[in-house]
Amino acid sequence: MKKLAVFFICVIIACCSCLGCGNDKPENNGTRVVKDAKGYEVKVPAHPMRIVSFSISCDEILLGLVEPERIASVSYLCDDAGISHVVEKSKAVKERIKGTPSVERIMALKPDLVILGDWWTPDCIQTIRDMGISVYVYKTPYTVADIKKAVREIADVVDAKQQGEAVIKEYDAKIAKAQSVIKAANINQQKKVVVMSGHGVIGTKGSLFADICRYAQVDNCMEQLQTGQNTTVSKEFIVQSNPDVIIMPGWNGAPTHTLETEKELLNDKSLQSVKAIQNKNLVTLSGQDMYCVSQYVADSILAIDKLVYPEYFK
């Protein structure tokens, strides 16, 4: 009987011990294999805890999905209020990356996962993989719908699927709200816009900004031009397009060329036949909204609508 009593006591103690451990987070040493946008099979942590991002677009997506404590580093542009939507959120992440970091810099961060857009060079990607670090490459979004794909893709990789769906739900709601205002206005003819940028022509056919303009229901003249970082919007093109609105950049960072100021454009004799010049309808779009490639594209759509159709957003 004594032996039986001792046995039951041991069982009870063991059960209590297990129950006591129930609130602890189990250590996650697991990994899984996922295929990235390049078709590369990447072994990633099941729940990465030291994620590194090199670009503002990825920074913004990540900070919408996971706690800052799970991010080892973001890009330096997170701190620039001219282009970043996550200035406050990113303050909880200590480290910053600028440009293409050295091998030593990356190793010092001790990442368990590096997430890069597919615009990074194969050499850069392979160099990091040669260090034994998991690198996941995601597809660059070229449409408003692609943004949702990118969010889902990254959410899956960082073990944040539920939060990814929450981000997408908010994204869709913001877009629907902006579009409902324009729909209710029953606009007969969309206003024509030309976009000026110190980083080459943006808004050309097939670009994300062109799709943003479609969602904002504005007639984007830029789709007639070919893309290129060294291409500028000529005065001849502005005259030919005769836009109702000229959109100027609120942020240029390190521009590839110098833009004329609003005053210079308004006083330019060769542009006096242009509607936007005659009506002094030159407006400024923030860098956050002009160069966005994350879930904050929903805010870009609303921002453009408010600039082009201010009468419906009072």
Q: How many C-beta atoms surround the C-beta of residue 257 within 10 A?
A: 13
What is the third-level CATH fold of 185-312?
Answer: Rossmann fold (3.40.50)
Which residue intervals of the chain bear CATH 3.40.50.1980?
Answer: 31-140, 185-312
- The pairing of strands 71-75 and 95-97 is parallel
- Per-residue pLDDT of the chain (314 residues), as tens digits, is 444 343 333 433 333 333 333 333 333 469 999 999 999 999 999 999 999 999 999 999 999 999 999 999 999 999 999 999 999 999 999 999 998 999 999 999 999 999 999 999 999 999 999 999 999 999 999 999 999 999 999 999 999 999 999 999 999 999 999 999 999 999 889 999 999 987 778 899 999 999 999 999 999 999 988 765 446 788 999 999 999 999 998 887 666 556 788 899 999 999 999 999 999 999 999 999 999 999 999 999 999 999 999 999 98
Tokens of 46: 């099941």
Alpha-helical (H) ranges within 79-203 are: 103-109, 122-129, 144-157, 161-185
Give, in order, the Cα–Cα distances in Å from 51 to each of 23, 118, 197, 292, 313.
25, 17, 32, 21, 40
31-140 is a CATH 3.40.50.1980 domain: yes
